[in-house]
Structure formats: C-alpha cells, structure tokens
Structure 1
Amino acid sequence: MRNTTAGIKAEIAKGVFRPHTALTNMALAYYQNASNYFAKALFPTCPVGLSSDNYYIFSREDLLRDNWQRKPAYGKVDPTTIGESTDNYVCKVDQMIMGIDQIRQTDLSRRQGPSIIQPKQQRTRTIAEQANIHQDRLFAASYFKEGAWKNELEGVDNTTPSTNQFIKFSNANSDPIAFIDKEKTDMNQQTGRMPNRLGLGINVFNALKVHPGILERVKYGGSTANPASVTENVLAQLFGVEKIVVLKSIMNSASMGADEDMQYIGDPNAFLLAYATNTPSIDEPSAGYIFTWDMLGNGQMLPILNYLGENGTHTEYIEGLMATDMKKTSDDLARFYKAAV
C-alpha cells in the first residue's frame, strides 16, 4: 500500500514515487447548491435571435371586453378592433475571463496532484457558477426591489394597516393565507390571470414556517415518526400557487481585496407575487421575461471558450459570455411586498 512506510520505500526504490502536496480526494470549493438560484425558476427564459428587437403587446382592455353586438335586421355590426403596440428588449453582452499559468500547471501535473488541478474544468465550473450569481443579481435589481412594480405594499407591525400596507407575517395576528388570497383575487379581477408564482425572501419563508395560522393547518398531517413540516410544496398548496421559490442564493458584495460582505442576493424580508408562463408564448402574458441572446450565433446561451495568451506569457484563458435583458413585460401581473417581516 502506498500509504504505508514499506509501500513508500518500494515506490522510491522503483523510481515511481511522486510526493503529493495536497489531498487527492477532497478540496474546499464554495459552490452553491443549484436549487439556491432563483432567477430562471421565477420568470421564463426567452431565447432571441437578435441582440435587440420589438415584441407585440395586445390591448388587455380590448381583449377582456365583451365585443359581441346584436346584429341589426338587414345590417351588420361595426368591426371590432383590438389595439396593439410594441415594446423592445436589449441584450447587452457580459463577460468573465479566468487565466491559467501553463508554467505552474506543468509543475502541478508532474506532482500528480488532485483532480482539482485540472484548470480548464475548474475554471469552466467557476464561470458557470458565477453566471448563476450574476443572473440572480440582475433579476433582483430588475424585479425584486422597491419601486420595481406599479403595485407595491409595505408590511407594518400594527393590526390596522392603511392603503398599500399589510400586517407583517412575523406578527402572529396576521393571516398570510387570507391576505395572499385577496391579492390573487384582485390581480385576477384586473388581468384575467390568477398569479401562479410566489418568490419568498429567506426571512419571509422562515417566518411562514412558524406562523401559528400555517402550523394550525398542517399539524394534524404529522405523526411522531414523521412530524408535520412546512415546506415550499406545503406553502404552495396552502397559497394555491403553482410554484414557490425561496431566494437562497448569496454573494460577496465586497470588492476584490476588501473584507468579505456576504449578503442574500434577493431582499430576505420581501416577497413577490406574479403570473408567469413556463415557456415563451404568443398567447399568454407574463410579468417578465429573461431575454437571452446567443451572441456567437451557435445556439449557446452561455458559451465558454478557451484561447491562448500572447506569446511569451505562457498563459491560456477560459472565457464566458452572456447576453440577457431582464425585462418587465407586464406591470399588472406582479406585486411586490417589502418589509414583510
């Protein structure tokens, strides 16, 4: 065995011994769980062939009006007109580059170190991981913040909220289910679409899991061996939505070289109620879209390329490209709730 004194001596005698400078079966890499990311889970991705273009908007007022008329004798009714307009998206290209020192890599390879020293694989995964962080940050800046939507309410501690206010969910006297039902009904009345997405800041999710009104509804579904628990799926059923997404992804907001500043990317004390399609559609509205352009024309929305550095540098680079536009496409199909806890 190579991990014994005798085994090492035997390898030295054969001239095949290579001392390792790091463990070969573990390393520390703080990649986040893929389920933490929320952008693509809340709003659909719409692939586009051009970096910018227009899309049609048909009049909600005209489509939801009863345009049928009684036909007069020997005559006909006036033609019905459905109003239309256009809006545009603009995908701008973002880039990330990581380098590989070929001289250092030669040394590491000859030492037969761990698989993590395979630089192309490691850097490719890092770029893909950072692409998720970048998309979540863009999503939060576009959709999950104060002032992003026309309809916005604020949580208050008192039990007599005024206009555009609601009782915070951290208050045991609140009724989250009744409140969400009312908000859903109001949106459906205005748009003909019942909200099907609920994005919860992590603190809002934690407050709902221990809310007396929620626990009362689920406590009889458990046993000693399998106690009742409040999960995203349970909350989705209680609130009557297709999907609940908890915003769990984090990022270091500090600049390079500064002390770390780890923060949740989405406001942990807020939530978003919205209607969105699962895939792009010409027959369905959606609160927002993530327009994504394949800037190299090869169908790859996140191309990752490898190229050599300048002569004499003995370097090569791994490059990632991304071109997206987080576009609010219907202000009526989403409502933002700040200070919910």
Structure 2
Amino acid sequence: MKRTAKSIQADIAKGAFRPHTALSTMALAYYQQDSTTLAKNMFPVCPVGLSSDNYYVFDKEDLLRDNWQRKPAYGKVDPAVISEHTETYACAVDQMIMGIDSIRQTDLNRRQGPRTADPRQQRTKVMAAQANIHQDSDFSKSFMKQGVWANEGQGKDDTSVSGNEFIKFSNGNSDPIAFFDAKKTAMRQATGRTPNRLGLGINVFNALKVHPAILERVKFGGTTANPANVTENVLAQLFGVDRIVIDQTVQNKAGLGQAANMQFIGDPNSFLLAYATDTPSIEEPSAGYIFTWDMLENGILLPVLNYQGEAGTHSEFVEGLMAYDMKKTADDLAFFGYDAV
C-alpha cells in the first residue's frame, strides 16, 4: 500500500511509526570544552554552512610591511597593496550506528530491581565519547607527526645539536624553558604572533614534571602540607603560553574479537607548539582549524538520531553523524618536536 502523508501522521499518532528524532541534549556535550581531548583544545572549531568552500588568506608580508610614506608637497603617495588569495576546506561525513534489541530490552525493563537505564541515552554517551577518540585520532594523524609542519625538530641524547635539533627533555642538561622561549621568539619574528598553545605527549609531560630546571623554579612555592606540584598550569606559566594540552587520549587499536591493544592515540614522545585562536576570527591567524558542517541543517554539529529497524527485526537503531575537515591553515604558526624524551 502506498504511504501518504495522512497515513504516516496517523501511524505516528498511534505510535506505530517513529520518524528520525533527536534523542537528547547529551550529544551536545561533545562540543563543550573537554580538558582531556587534544583536537578541540588545540585548534578552534569553525562551524560552516557548506560542506566545502573557500576562505580568504591575507599575505603576512603585506600586512606586516610599513606602508606609510611621507606625503610629497602638492602630491600623493602610491596606494598600498595588501595581497590576498583563497584556500579551500572540504568536510567529509562520518557515521556511527548502534542497535537496540527491542525484545531483549522488554525483558530487561520488566525485571524487578533498580530502574534500567535508557539504552538510547547509553548509546548516545558511547557515541559522544568515541567521537572524541575519532577526532583526536584524526588530529594526531594530521598534525602530530613528521613531515607536516615546515618547522620541526628532533630531540637528541647528547648535547651536540644543530639547526632545529634539541636536547631531549629527559636529559638533565637540557633547558626546556630556554628552548621554548627561543622557539616563541623565532615565531614572533617570522609571523608577528607569539605561540599560545602547547600540546604535549604524555611522556613529554611526565619528563617535564621532574626536570631539574623546572623543579628548581617551583620548589620554594610549596610547604609540607601543600607540596609544590608541577601541573599543566605551572608549565603554562613557565613556558609563557595560555594553554597546555596533554595528549593522553587512549584507544583500543585491536579489532572486534581480538585481544585488547590499549595505546595512546598520539605519539607520547612528541609536542606541538602553536598559535591558535579561541574562536574563529577574520582578524587573527590560526595554525589550524576544525571546519565542522551541520549536514542536517539543524545547527547541531553532532546530531544523534533514533529510528526503527525493518519490520520483523524488532530492533531500533541510534545513529550519529559528524562532518569536519581538520586543516592546517598557517604553516608558519607551529613547531613540531619529536623524540623529545
């Protein structure tokens, strides 16, 4: 029988048909600032109206040049030229689906005892958590590796380093504070911007917490009752950045049915020093952006939907969607270090 709008409305009223509906606001928590995730705390999320489009890039050489000239008598100076060009982004759609066995759920709901949690809400939480894992994994693959940034350096065990090489932070003869000051100064000179974010692999963070040069600066700030601790905030102040982000997201890299293979997503021995804005801006550069598209045109960047399975399956499904493009937007606003410990 051909379905009509009237028959569908009648089935909805009787509860016999359930269209795709938004589940709950739980999924919105995915877009709140989560201090344990790397991607959204390093680069700003930029909501976009189209899956792909252009954005303007104004050349720093023209913006940072002194174009003021002395006005000649009875004449005028030549107009200043500020060059511009465009770059593109392209958001790809990712999807995750989880099922609910309605027959089994009926049995669970009828059991005596504590109230059974809503399976839809539980699956929404799983999707939100795995969305963070998925984005952190993409971030590490895109930005936390060799060959991505024009400015990168390798840590060495000995003190004979040259160029962008540096002494490993696990070596007590290194000076992390002087090292980051030098990199910040060099970036300031090249771009007019001072790096404000530092992403640290977990091993790098652990090494910095016990580094003699850092402990020397904080040891007098503690007491017996409240000993001095080297935290992210302490390191941020010592290194002169607004934000320290620890790359500590864990992922099971084994397939379904295989023995668990729990690993840190990113390289635990690397770091990324970068300048990035807190929010999208037309007046500030940023080393990178996470362009995010609301593909369902409802303003929700991580929509989670619920729909019935095929007749006879007695099942329903929870579906999550997200579309984004993690893009390096300013190659000269970052320095990547590897083998740092």
- TM-score scaled by length of structure 2: 0.89
Gaps of 5+ in 2: 1-32
Post-superposition Cα deviations, 1:71-121, rounded to whole Å, max 9, x if no partner, equal 222211111110000000000100000000001111111114555542111
- What residue number does 1:8 align with? none
8 Å CA contact 2:286–2:333 kept in 1: the answer is yes
State the number of aligned residues.
Answer: 309
**5 Å matches for 1:315-330?**
315-330=315-330
Residue 46 (structure 2) aligns with: 46
Secondary structure of 2:205's aligned partner: helix
Contact 2:108–2:116 (CA<8 Å) still a contact in 1? no
- Partner of 2:63 in structure 1? 63
- Does 136-145 or 296-305 show the bigger shift? 136-145
Give the aligned partner of residue 18 of structure 1: none
Counterpart in the other structure of 2:272: 272
Contact kept in structure 1, 2:251 and 2:264, CA below 8 Å: yes
The residue identity in structure 2 corresponding to 1:173 is N
Letter in 1 for 2:251: M
2:305 corresponds to 1:305: yes
Question: Do the aligned partners of residues 165 and 300 (structure 1) sit closer, same or farther apart at CA in structure 2, a change above 3 Å counting?
Answer: same
CA RMSD in angstroms, aligned pairs only: 1.2
Task: Measure the CA separation in 1 of the matches of 2:56 and 2:325.
Answer: 17
Q: Which residue of 2 aligns with 1:224?
A: 224
Structure-2 residue corresponding to 1:333: 333
The residue matched to 2:93 in structure 1 has which SS? Answer: strand
Aligned to 1:171: 171
Checking the alignment, whether the CA contact within 8 Å between 1:253 and 1:262 is kept in structure 2 is: yes
CA distance in 2, matches of 1:194, 1:262: 36
Measure how far apart 1:164 and its partner are: 2.1
Q: What is the CA–CA distance in structure 2 between the aligned matches of 1:141 and 1:134, rounded to whole Å? A: 11
- Cα distance in 2 between the residues matched to 1:114 and 1:197: 46
- Spell out, residue by residue over 1:42-65, the C-alpha distance to the aligned partner (whole angstroms, 9 max, x if none): 110000000000000001000001
Q: Distance in 2 between matches of 1:116 and 1:128?
A: 21
Change (3 A) 1:220 1:116: farther
The 2-side partners of 1:151 and 1:293 are apart by 30
Which residue is 1:263 aligned to?
Answer: 263
Cα pair distance change 1:159/1:132, threshold 3 Å: same
- CA offset digits 1:258-285 (Å, max 9, x no partner): 2211111121100000000000000000
1:105 alignment partner in structure 2: 105
Task: Select the structure of larger CA radius of gyration.
Answer: 1
**2:18 corresponding residue in structure 1:** none
Structure 1 unpaired stretches of 5+: 1-32
Q: Judging changes above 3 Å, is the alpha-carbon distance between structure 1 residues 54 and 115 closer, same or farther for their aligned structure 2 residues?
A: farther
Does the aligned pair in 1 maintain the 2:34–2:41 contact within 8 Å?
A: no
- What amino acid is aligned across from residue 83 of structure 2 in structure 1? G
Kindly provide the amino acid, as one letter, of the partner of residue 272 in structure 1. Answer: L
Amino acid at match of 2:156: V
User: Is the Cα–Cα contact under 8 Å of residues 116 and 122 in structure 1 kept in the other structure?
Assistant: no
TM-score (norm 1): 0.89
Asked whether the 8 Å contact 1:99–1:317 carries over to 2, the reply is: yes
Partner deviation per Cα, 1:106-143 (whole Å, 9 max, x = no partner)? 11111145555421111111011111111111111111
Query: Is contact 1:169–1:340 with CA below 8 Å preserved after alignment?
Result: yes
Partner of 2:295: 295
Quote the Cα distance in structure 1 between the aligned partners of 2:74 and 2:34. 66
Amino acid at match of 1:139: F
User: Measured at CA, do residues 115 and 132 of structure 1 come closer, stay the same or move farther in structure 2, by a change above 3 Å?
Assistant: farther
- Residue of structure 1 equivalent to 2:155: 155
Q: CA deviation at 1:338?
A: 0.4
CA pair 114-99 structure 1, distance change in 2 beyond 3 A = farther
The residue matched to 1:93 in structure 2 has which SS?
Answer: strand
**Counterpart Cα distance in 2 of 1:241 and 1:164:** 20
Give the Cα–Cα distance (whole angstroms) in 2 for the partners of residues 35 and 62 of structure 1. 37
- C-alpha separation in 2, matches of 1:199 and 1:92: 25
Letter in 1 for 2:302: L
Q: Deviations over 1:278-322 (max 9, x none)?
A: 000000000000100000000000000000000000000000000
Classify the secondary structure of the residue corresponding to 2:109: helix
3-state secondary structure, aligned to 2:268: coil
SS of residue paired to 2:216: helix
Counterparts of 1:16-31 in structure 2 under 5 Å? none
Could you say if the C-alpha distance between residues 129 and 223 of structure 1 is closer, same or farther in structure 2, counting changes exceeding 3 Å? same
AA partner of residue 38 (structure 1) = L
Structure 1 Cα separation of the partners of residues 162 and 109 of structure 2 = 67
Report the AA paired with residue 261 of structure 1. N
Q: Is the 8 A contact 2:109 2:116 kept in 1?
A: no
Q: Secondary structure at the match of 2:35?
A: helix
SS in structure 2 of the partner of residue 266 of structure 1? coil
Query: In 2, distance between residues paired with 1:94 and 1:114?
Result: 36
| Cα distance between partner residues in 2 of 1:190 and 1:331 | 11
> Aligned pair in 2 of structure 1 residues 286, 116: CA closer, same or farther (>3 Å)?
farther
Measure, in 1, the Cα distance between the counterparts of 2:116 and 2:264.
Answer: 28
What's 2:9 paired with?
none
